[in-house]
Structure 1
Amino acid sequence: MSGTAGDHGLSGAEKAAVVMLALGEERAARLLSLLGQPEVMEISRAVASLGPVEAGVVEAVLNEFAGWLARAGGIVVGGIEATEKLLRHLDAGRADTVIAEIRGPAAQSIWERLASVDEAVLASYLEREHPQAAALILSRIDPTHAARVLKRLPEDPAIDVVMRMLRLDTVRPDIVADVERSLEGAPFLDGSERASQRDRHALVAELFDHLDRTTETRLIRALEERSREAAERVRSFMFTFEDLTRVDGSGIQKLIRSAGNQRLATALKGASEPLRGLFFGNMSERAGKMLREEMQAMGPIRLKDVEEAQQFLVNLAKELVASGEIVLASGSDEPLVE
């Protein structure tokens, strides 16, 4: 950082950080002990990000705090170590809290913390936020949690957020920092970090894959009304229960072994005839007969239970595809039945 006595270009927090460093550890620590937690956090972040400061800039800052000029040590150097030295003079608990916030990876900690926030609470917060900020937040948190949050939003705000997620490109660090600050005390991100390197339509498709069938259908239809092209591209990335017809025979057999009879019977209660045929075609005659009997014995079951069982099979299939344990044929291929 450089500058002249008349033009140092520092923020208020950075000027306070320069003064603290120039005062020395003990005096600075005594001053910090008189401040509230928000002020300590702000100054500590400034110290951590300050780096070398030229003597002319130090002098310019200290002239604003006349009376401290004699204690200026010329060039002062900030950084994590300098921050820790200053905070070491505070009580241990308070110092640990501040250092934990500053030490990285900062961005990871805030987005991980969001995963534990109740989806209704987070949805209520996002509904009051700008849709662009909501899109950024949902694009960075776990898709399963993001889907639950999206389900809680009213349809118009939800589809607005989805549209913005589709257009979301590399996000400037200062915008990310603003969003983080709005999440109350979140740490800054590394300047090189991006919101997502993945295809935006794939990201939204993954989010939709974690929704229940009713919410997924509602939002896809609403998206189609806004942009048919975007809806088609999202659909191309989505993997639904009926897409299991594209799994080869050995893959279906692995799914059967992993799912268990009760979950499989529940899932197939709501399946199309071709998909049922694919599963029964990859079972022994005896196993198929037992499964049919179990399905009949179930009687009517809740749609929610069927969808949950089907989603379990979809998620399991996706894991096996990702690991190379099963083969997924292209959408134009005929189903493979053994």
Structure 2
Amino acid sequence: MMDFEDFGGGALSTKPLSQAEKAAAVLLAMGKGVAGKLLKYFTQSELQNIIACAQGLRSIPPDELLELVNEFEDLFTEGTGLMDNAAAIEDILEAGLTPEEVDGLLGRRTGFESYEASIWDRLGEADPVFVGQFLSREHPQTVAYILSQMPSSFGAKVLLQLPDNRRADIMNRAVNMKEVSPKAAEIIEKRVMELVAAVDAERASNGSAKVAELMNELEKSQVDTLLTSLETISKEAVNKVRPKIFLFEDLLYMPQRSRVLLLNDVAADVLTMSLRGASEEIKECVLSAISPRQRRMIESDLAVQPASLNPREVAMARRAVAQEAIRLATSGQIILKEEKPAEAA
């Protein structure tokens, strides 16, 4: 391993060079080809020290430089300029190291890497559907890279939002992903910044979601009344809010597979209470999605009419089922609604 002390010697000018400065001067004088081959003999800390020295190196006259590199006279060219030291040392590094190693030594990616940590965290809090729609317009290689940087659980949800005919290609690209060059990383960085900005804008302006959250705490009759009143003011507002509302009665429009996953995760006593006073259609919808044993138990309980039925307890049970459905849908485990069949004329 090359040691800075190998460039020892007495003071060569009124302002003596440090050992690292001497090493930087010699490397700069050698030129890219030869100096690049010598870089592998330095440790990373030594290289970083040399780079720092090279960027602030004073002008060195040829005679002083000759004394430093007398053992390399065959490689020294009289009059070598040392004015653009930062650019010259970068050229030498690029000749002897890989682009990734050069980037690491020069700290090119440091700022972006710290930024990456924050943008992936912020994306993880976004709506997978929104992110998927945004990425569906991007090149498959860009999508593959972005997905590979996301937390795996969130990336999987986003992948499911992409068109079926693109998923295999994107997954293949992600599996065979090679080191991303600084230029490509810069391009992707800009797109990710735009995506984060779009997510923030969507979240800030998504008043319809906030209204829907409020309505999801109400009973169906109350929601219907509010939507009717809102429609007299703005049909567009109703169209934005209605798809985001999910009530107990909306179990009728949930895909069967999602319904099974949901209802088998809800306590039997909660389901029993939620079905008190419900229509036969809702009862059958719920009972057909649970196990035969649990169905028999609930049917037996429903057959016994309580002395008094507390409407508030029924409403709370139905709200608990609806809120659990919203939670599972938000995490990507179920689908809340499928399109309602067209009603007969």
Output the TM-score relative to the length of structure 1.
Answer: 0.37
| Larger-gyration structure (1/2) | 2
